[in-house]
Amino acid sequence: MEVDHALIIALVERWHPETHTFHLLHGEMGITLQDIEVMLGVPIDGLPVTGSVKLEWPVLCRDLLGHRPPDPVLHPHKNISILAGARLRVSWLKEQFRGPIPADAADEVVQQHALYHILVWLGSILFMDKSADRVSVMPLQFLNLISDAKRHLCKASETKAKQIGGALMLVQLWAYSRFPVICPVTRPPQPPVEAGPLARRWKGPKSTTEHATHVLAAYRASLLSIRAHQVVWEPYIDVLDSLPPYCTVGRHIWRTIVPLIYFWIVKEHHPERVFR
């Protein structure tokens, strides 16, 4: 599944940074700890993610990934940098880990590949950089071998903002689960079926491939007109018991009012604002 940019834009327009919620006709709605754990399977209970923001990042990359980013290349018109502060260019990183791991690879090499995949996953799903081609290496300090979407929505809702980072797929899946009227439906593949029964495509009024120039307007109109009876307020109620344990282990704190901490970012989690 790809990110539906038009849907994200329409949702950002409804985001209020003062309350950290989407303001709709029937009231406020927002992403909760339950959504994060159920949809992504990410642990929500534990120590705050905080650490140093001023380490020798090239040295950390060398020690844990086995590759040190080169120094910036001077260019007549711009400064081409593989590592800008703690933000590493993903294309360079992927080049260093191209190809399969050798069968006789040392344990250190295997660990380096594992850290690489974890870092790319964090940078492309949970803490996506708005440049779409860089990943923060700050989490590496928690992966030493013996370690928030709401902030990005606030920044994107500013009048001068042109890009957005963060867990956009979480935002998109949250909207799909709550608003059936805007969720695309699937249709089976046209014969011959070579990819199996899972080879399906989206269809419907919000399909960007069929209505590329009108899809944003359609999302805006839908979000403007949605009523409370059209909202799925408890989308997981029928599947919770069948989910893996790691998707529900934190259910005892899903409704907790608590600060969410990621390095220097501290945001309050207020589920009482959006629960019916």
pLDDT of 48-73, one tens digit each? 777 888 889 899 899 889 999 987 75
**In this model, does residue 213 exceed pLDDT 80?**
no
Q: Which two tokens stand for residue 161?
A: 């903002």
pLDDT tens-digit profile of 73-102? 544 445 568 888 888 988 899 999 988 888
237 CB-near residues (< 8 Å, 6+ apart): none
- Closest C-alpha to 142, from 173, 119, 108, 170: 119
Report the C-alpha gap between 183 and 205 in whole angstroms.
9
**In this model, does residue 239 exceed pLDDT 60?**
yes
Tell me the pLDDT of the chain averaged across its residues. 79
Phi, psi at residue 226, to the nearest 5°?
Answer: -60, 135
**In this model, does residue 196 exceed pLDDT 80?**
no
* Mean pLDDT computed over 170-179: 89
Cα angle 57-62-68, degrees, rounded to a multiple of 5: 80
Q: Which amino acid is at 117?
A: H
> Residue 68, Cβ neighbours under 10 Å: how many?
16
Q: Cα dist. 196→93, 184, 190, 254 in Å?
A: 33, 20, 11, 37
In contact, 185 and 204? CB cutoff 8 Å: yes
Buried b (16+ CB within 10 A) or exposed e, 122-146: bbbebbbbeeeebbbbbbbbebeee
Q: How confident is the model at residue 103, as a pLDDT?
A: 87
Angle between helices 57-65 and 107-121 (to 10 degrees): 130
**In this model, does residue 189 exceed pLDDT 90?**
no
Query: Which tops the pLDDT comparison, 77 or 235?
Result: 235
Confidence of residue 231 (pLDDT cuts 50, 70, 90): very high
In contact, 22 and 30? CB cutoff 8 Å: yes
Query: Which tops the pLDDT comparison, 74 or 264?
Result: 264
Q: Which of 43-47, 126-130, 173-177 has the highest average model confidence (pLDDT)?
A: 173-177
- Closest C-alpha to 154, from 12, 30, 273: 12
Name the burial class of residue 265, with classes exposed (0-12), middle (13-18) and buried (19+) by CB atoms within 10 angstroms of its CB: middle
Q: Which two tokens stand for residue 75?
A: 């260019």
Beta bridge partners of residue 84, listed in sequence order: 87
Name the burial class of residue 21, with classes exposed (0-12), middle (13-18) and buried (19+) by CB atoms within 10 angstroms of its CB: buried
What percentage of the chain has pLDDT greater than the value 90?
20
Q: Cα dist. 110→71, 88, 117 in Å?
A: 26, 21, 11
